[in-house]
Structure 1
Amino acid sequence: MELSPSAHVDTFTRDNLPPAGQWPVFEFTLPELQYPDRLNAATVLIDDAVEIFGAERPALHTPDGGTWSYGQLKQHANQVAQVLTEDFGVVPGNRVLLRGPNNPWLVAAWLGVLKAGAVVVTTMPVLRASEVATICELTEPVVAISDHRFSADLHDAVRAGTAVVTYGASDDSDLTVRCAGKSGIFKDVPTAADDVALLGPTSGTTGTPKITMHFHRDILANADTFARHILKPTSEDVFAGSPPLAFTFGLGGLVVFPLRFGASALLTERATPMDLARHAAAAGATVLFTAPTAYRAILKEGRGDLLKNLRVAVSAGEHLPKEIWEAVHEATGLSLVNGIGATEMLHVFISAAGDDIRPGATGVAIPGFRATIFDEDGNEAAPNEPGRLAVIGPTGCRYLNDERQLNYVHNGWNVTGDTFVRDEEGYFYYQARSDNMIISSGYNIGAPEVEAAIDQHPDVVENAVVGRPDPERGSVVCAFIVLREGVTADAAKRKEIQDFVKATIAPYKYPRDVRFVTELPRNPSGKLQHFKLRAAVSEETTELAGAGQGR
């Protein structure tokens, strides 16, 4: 596919796109996917929205009752763009890293980066400095914008010469103070529709994350497929959800989708499932995004009533068991909208809504996408035969300068790491992850990354990490650890290693289940056999949980 002339002065992202022959096929089969050659996603999402829906319409809410209007969000986004270009010399194509919890200033910064023609790299605030440093090494940001509460170790994580600016601290150099001194008038850079707008790190199955590359048109395409055809938003909707904006699931559900349709969003910085349910109910939320485990937790507290005013409840981030779907439906009358997406695809591409929902099924390929199942030989599988899920649509996998591109794209198809079956009517049913990704409470956790963290403990000789089925979280991280000779394998050592991992990588990745063993299973060539460990934890989950093994 021939690219349009780029507006980027800094050509880093264009230079590091995968070779054209390694790209997936892109299809734009719907009229709403016919975007102009010059397109800035931020212009569409906020400037055009102000013109269509009005500057006074509510855009962003916070649990304390605060609200930003569309006009205020536009002004602050313009001010951020002014700060970036005037104070820090950002030029189109430069990368800008964002770090913070879900709040209005993070959204304003995200839009401001795009308005300036730069490329946004949003990171999870709970990532450790070493993890942020890896992302910075790969993406080479020139500026890092951080909530002041998460900036302590950022100076050590960024590359030399990267400017760090915080918001929320109210000192003279704070982003909010800088913005207050700007006019709020900014002419958005007329980027190409196929200029890279954001770089999204994955929680991949190796220690080094893959960096997905998404164009300006991709950001709108997810709103014009999944949101438009499955969620059917109106300007009266209020979106709420738990996923961080650094996850493309959260970015779509809490920023792109509501702004695209003139709706508003409730942003919660950090909330338990019950907190989220209470805040959403108080804000009059009509669309909710969260993981199946959150819905289960709300029902366990007997508070399904907090969900009854929702118009749409979306479950994604991990597999939705049929039992949870039925429990939510019985308690609230809601038919949970299931779905599967991928960071490589930006958002959901298989789903169903309303009368098309079949409990236990993920759904069908949504309008704008088509999907199939490949067998082990790379051929299309027969109905009801398990195989690898593959998809083609208006978005697709492009990794930043990464040979693993060849592992995801085959003959033009995006082939995910999931095993599914498809029935005769085109409904897809999830079977399992076909790689060693662990999905726990909606978070993607790469087993090799956890293994690498555990290996750094001085008492660990070797270890292996797998996902153990768990009724509350879907899966939990389970580590099999061989200790140095003479080290006591007891509860104190287990907790010590768990705390060590929490201090080394993001805390949600730590092994909740730690099992000390004398050796790990290997094949004759010495390769570690993770599949044997997976089989063991699947068969022994109930017994081990009852014995209190490391939970």
Structure 2
Amino acid sequence: MLDPSVYPDRFARDHLPPLPLWPQFDGLEALGYPKRFNAAVELIDRQVAAGFGPRLAIRTPAATWTYAQLLDKANRIAAVLRDDLGLVPGNRVLLRSANNAMKAAAWLGVLKAGGIAVATMPLLRAQELSYMLGKARVQFALCDARLTDELDRAAASAPALKTIAFHSDAADGLEARMARKSGDFDNVIPSHDDVSLIAFTSGTTGLSKATVHFHRDVLAIADCLPRHILKPVPDDVFLGSAPFAFTFGLGAMLVFPLRFGGSAVMLEQPTPEAMLAAIEREGVSRLFTVPTLYRAMSPLAAGYDVSSLKSCISSGEHMPLAVFEGWYRATGVRLMNSIGSTEMLHGFLINQDTQHIPGAVGRAAPGYRAMVVDDDMNPLPPGQVGRLAVRGPTGCRYLDDVDRQQKYVQDGWNLTGDAFETDAAGNFWYHARTDDMIVSAGYNISGAEVEGVLLQHVSVAECAVVGLPNEERGQIVAAYVVLREGVVNGEAMRQELQELVKAQIAPYKYPRAIEFVTALPKTITGKIQRSALRDGR
């Protein structure tokens, strides 16, 4: 049962799935949250009240803000939204910007005013933004002045949208409006299960899905995995590559550091060189990024001082063993493989024992339960590949999408769309997205396993493996390979890679087709779009 809401705008609440379709939420009582609180207040106001005001919260190449300064900015933004734009609790506010200090303050300000944050990727175009504006019925937007063009075009489909630009010296820009506010704000204190944000999935298989998360969910992602496994302290410095719209980035770059009194380094363009330079310059201790970037940083790491790193978390997509080994050789730090989803808001499986079981995704994070099931939701024994089912204090709620809700949530469990198996010790091992499993001549083949072998070859920079239709075998294993600069492709290299796979794993898994490409199609979060390869795009 939902607790009474203080939000006069009930759109998001009224378009939640019917309660019988919700997942079961485990562990909420153990977290001990009150019935009413504002997640942003817990993240920033409480820290200032506890004496953290003078400590650094946000670090960027352009500026550094203390907790007190960040609170002041967030309060002023909340006042602009309420007083200048007329926001009432429950209204949706689109945020369009790369990761920077103003975006952090804007996200917090939206929640403090009772708004619902709808963060977007900075590379999205008008068509994608228009879809999001319509799906979430967005009324307001705070947009980096450098990114207004596409939003202005998208606004043609939402004529009532009110937009304010920041990083602007305009008289009606956000900074000018903030300067006219006092810095004090009477926070909205909603129900713990009022909506705080709407996050859109990366849309690797079609239109993005809108996922809905409560104020309690924002705190839960910090109070489970990081609190019990990473054990952050106030001196920790966090760095990640993902934008806030990718909820892996929201947790790593805002929620986690603020929850534990640490600080976040925010880069608008997180290239491998910029990431490594930031680690050295800022003394980064907690690093969160995707396997692709870890692989790109590994050969460059020797040129930087990365001795401050205490933990490095990989997520976003499967981490091949070659990435783990390359990063360890380069830095002496073992990557912690993890998996999460936008539907669950953040990570729910993580490998803590990286020294003894590299390559595994480990076990369920504290507060979560996980199992591998068949198509009828029966648990499978170790060694059998099936569907990953998860539940914990967070879970899937699609906005106004009953059909998808029924597929993702079954018997109270969240079915993430990933194919896994467990071993005898209870560790989870990733195989593929369930729609990426390859069935060739009756054999089930994990594309991720084949990719892991191909990436061991010194000449391979990146690769993706998919199943392609074949009249004789049903499907064949096909590999799309990006070679390192200067390496000559051709039949000799193709045969060399095929023989490598045959020598490492069962010969029937070898890629019968190998195409050398200059780049792989990716989403804006860095995930490889295997569906595009299957479709010939």
Q: TM-score range by the shorter chain?
A: 0.7 to 0.9
Question: Which residue is equivalent to 1:434?
Answer: 434
Question: Which residue is equivalent to 1:484?
Answer: none
Give a deviation string over 1:176-215, Cα, whole Å, max 9, x none.
1111111011011011000010000012354321100000
Q: Which moved more, 1:93-102 or 1:150-159?
A: 150-159
Q: Aligned equivalents of 1:160 and 1:265: distance in 2?
A: 36
> Which residue identity is paired with 1:116?
A
List structure 1 runs of 4+ shifted beyond 3 angstroms: 354-357, 466-478, 520-523, 531-543, 547-551
Query: Is 1:337 aligned to residue 336 of structure 2?
Result: yes
Question: Which residue is equivalent to 2:406?
Answer: 406
Question: Which residue is equivalent to 2:48?
Answer: 50
Query: Is 1:361 aligned to residue 360 of structure 2?
Result: yes
Length, aligned pairs only: 473
Query: Is 1:291 aligned to residue 262 of structure 2?
Result: no
Question: Which residue is equivalent to 1:300?
Answer: 299
Tell me by how many angstroms 1:46 deviates: 0.4
Question: Which residue is equivalent to 2:322?
Answer: 323
Question: Which residue is equivalent to 2:417?
Answer: 417
Question: Which residue is equivalent to 1:278?
Answer: 277
Q: Aligned equivalents of 1:474 and 1:201: distance in 2?
A: 27
Q: Aligned equivalents of 1:285 and 1:8: distance in 2?
A: 39
Question: Which residue is equivalent to 2:27?
Answer: 28
Tell me by how many angstroms 1:433 deviates: 1.1
C-alpha contact (below 8 Å) 1:419/1:434 kept by paired residues:
yes
C-alpha contact (below 8 Å) 2:230/2:311 kept by paired residues:
yes
Q: Aligned equivalents of 1:550 and 1:46: distance in 2?
A: 40
Pairs within 5 Å for 1:483-502: none
Q: Aligned equivalents of 1:423 and 1:252: distance in 2?
A: 29
Q: Aligned equivalents of 1:315 and 1:124: distance in 2?
A: 20
Q: Aligned equivalents of 1:29 and 1:173: distance in 2?
A: 43
1:135 to 132, 136, 140: 132
Tell me by how many angstroms 1:543 deviates: 4.0
Q: Aligned equivalents of 1:143 and 1:419: distance in 2?
A: 39
Give a deviation string over 1:374-423, Cα, whole Å, max 9, x none.
12332111111111111010000000000211110010000011111111
Give a deviation string over 1:312-367, Cα, whole Å, max 9, x none.
11111111112221232233221211100000000000013357762011110011
Q: Aligned equivalents of 2:345 and 2:241: distance in 1?
A: 17
Do the aligned partners of residues 431 and 55 (structure 1) sit closer, same or farther apart at CA in structure 2, a change above 3 Å counting?
A: same
Q: Aligned equivalents of 2:29 and 2:104: distance in 1?
A: 28
Question: Which residue is equivalent to 1:15?
Answer: 14
Tell me by how many angstroms 1:129 deviates: 0.5
Measured on the aligned residues, the alpha-carbon RMSD in Å equals 2.6
C-alpha contact (below 8 Å) 1:226/1:366 kept by paired residues:
yes
Give a deviation string over 1:271-313, Cα, whole Å, max 9, x none.
2112211122111111111112212212223527543320111
C-alpha contact (below 8 Å) 1:325/1:336 kept by paired residues:
yes
Q: TM-score, normalised by structure 1?
A: 0.81
Pairs within 5 Å for 1:254-269: 254-269=253-268
Tell me the SS of whatever aligns to 2:288: strand
Question: Which residue is equivalent to 2:151?
Answer: 154
Q: Aligned equivalents of 1:98 and 1:533: distance in 2?
A: 43
> Which residue identity is paired with 1:47?
D
Question: Which residue is equivalent to 1:313?
Answer: 312
Do the aligned partners of residues 96 and 129 (structure 1) sit closer, same or farther apart at CA in structure 2, a change above 3 Å counting?
A: same
> Which residue identity is paired with 1:70?
Y
C-alpha contact (below 8 Å) 2:464/2:479 kept by paired residues:
no
Tell me by how many angstroms 1:127 deviates: 0.5
Do the aligned partners of residues 336 and 542 (structure 1) sit closer, same or farther apart at CA in structure 2, a change above 3 Å counting?
A: farther
Q: Aligned equivalents of 1:164 and 1:409: distance in 2?
A: 36
Question: Which residue is equivalent to 2:441?
Answer: none
Query: Is 1:101 aligned to residue 85 of structure 2?
Result: no
Give a deviation string over 1:428-486, Cα, whole Å, max 9, x none.
0111111259xxxxxxxxxxxxxxxxxxxxxxxxxxxx9995847765699x9xxxxxx
Give a deviation string over 1:499-529, Cα, whole Å, max 9, x none.
xxxxxxxxxxxxxxxxxxxxx9599xxxxx9
> Which residue identity is paired with 2:60?
T
Q: Aligned equivalents of 2:220 and 2:418: distance in 1?
A: 23
C-alpha contact (below 8 Å) 1:337/1:357 kept by paired residues:
no
Q: Aligned equivalents of 2:265 and 2:121: distance in 1?
A: 18
> Which residue identity is paired with 1:239?
F
Do the aligned partners of residues 69 and 424 (structure 1) sit closer, same or farther apart at CA in structure 2, a change above 3 Å counting?
A: same
Q: Aligned equivalents of 1:207 and 1:473: distance in 2?
A: 28
Q: Aligned equivalents of 2:462 and 2:424: distance in 1?
A: 28
Q: TM-score, normalised by structure 2?
A: 0.83
C-alpha contact (below 8 Å) 2:195/2:215 kept by paired residues:
yes
Question: Which residue is equivalent to 1:203?
Answer: 202
Question: Which residue is equivalent to 1:485?
Answer: none
Question: Which residue is equivalent to 1:380?
Answer: 379
Q: Which moved more, 1:296-305 or 1:410-419?
A: 296-305
Q: Aligned equivalents of 2:327 and 2:205: distance in 1?
A: 35
> Which residue identity is paired with 2:515?
L
Pairs within 5 Å for 1:203-282: 203-282=202-281
Q: Aligned equivalents of 1:542 and 1:384: distance in 2?
A: 28
Give a deviation string over 1:25-73, Cα, whole Å, max 9, x none.
0012673x12100010000000001112421110000124x21000000
Tell me the SS of whatever aligns to 2:2: coil
Q: Aligned equivalents of 1:284 and 1:214: distance in 2?
A: 32
Q: Aligned equivalents of 1:550 and 1:346: distance in 2?
A: 27
C-alpha contact (below 8 Å) 1:18/1:398 kept by paired residues:
yes
Do the aligned partners of residues 215 and 357 (structure 1) sit closer, same or farther apart at CA in structure 2, a change above 3 Å counting?
A: farther
Question: Which residue is equivalent to 1:544?
Answer: 515
Q: Aligned equivalents of 1:390 and 1:473: distance in 2?
A: 33
Q: Aligned equivalents of 1:202 and 1:133: distance in 2?
A: 15
Give a deviation string over 1:221-248, Cα, whole Å, max 9, x none.
0000011012110000000111111110
